Amino acid sequence: MTCMDTKTRKYQRIIEQIKDLLMANGDPIAQMATINAVLYHKMPDFFWVGFYLLKKGRLIVGPYQGPLACQELEKNKGVCWAAINRQETIIVPDVNKFPGHIACNENSKSEIVIPLKNTNNEVIGAFDVDSKLYNYFDKTDAKELAKILAMLKIR
C-alpha cells in the first residue's frame, strides 16, 4: 500500500480531469481558463486562482477565478514579479511578511506563485494561487501545480 497523502490524491484526480479537458481545445487562453475553473471549484481553500501574463515588459492579468484582481502588477514589485525574476516557485506562508506584496484583496493570507514558461522554456508570466488561510501552500502544491502547468504547451 502506498502512503500518498490526501492532498496528493486529490491533485491526482484533478490532474486526470484537467488532462482530459485540455485535450478538447489547444487554445492557451481556453486551457488556462479551464485549469482555473477546475482548481477553484475543487480546492475549497483556493480563494483566487489565475494567470498574470507578460506583455511588452508589463505584467497583465489573464484568465482567473475568484474576486476582482489587480489588472496590472507594478514592475518588479510583489510575489509574481519575484517569481518571474528569480525564475522559481515562491511559497508565501503569510503575505503580510513578504516585502512589497501586492494585496489585490485583503482576504488573501498566503499564496504560491509559479513562473509560467512557454515551450522554449522562456518565462511568459506567472500562475498565482491565493488562500484565505495562513500557511496553506507547501511542497505538494508546488509539485502538483507545476505538473498542471506543464500540460500547457504555449508557443
Q: Which residues would be at the binding site for ligand SME (CB under 6 A)? A: 48, 69-70, 73, 78-80, 101-102, 104, 108, 111, 128, 130
Complex with ligand SME: residue 10 or 98, whichever CB lies closer: 98
Kindly state the smallest distance separating residue 28's Cβ from ligand SME, in Å: 19
Complex with ligand SME: residue 130 or 141, whichever CB lies closer: 130
Determine the residue with CB nearest ligand SME.
78
How many other CB atoms are found less than 10 A from the CB of residue 150? 9
Q: Alpha-carbon distance 115 to 121, whole Å?
A: 10
Kindly state the smallest distance separating residue 95's Cβ from ligand SME, in Å: 7
Q: Residues with Cβ < 8 Å from 7, sequence gap 6 or more?
A: 140, 141, 144
Kindly state the smallest distance separating residue 102's Cβ from ligand SME, in Å: 4
Report phi then psi at 39, rounded to 5: -65, -45
Kindly state the smallest distance separating residue 149's Cβ from ligand SME, in Å: 17
Q: Which helix (H) or strand (E) holds 91?
A: strand 90-92
H-state helical runs in the chain? 6-23, 28-42, 78-86, 139-150
Complex with ligand SME: residue 14 or 61, whichever CB lies closer: 61
Complex with ligand SME: residue 80 or 152, whichever CB lies closer: 80
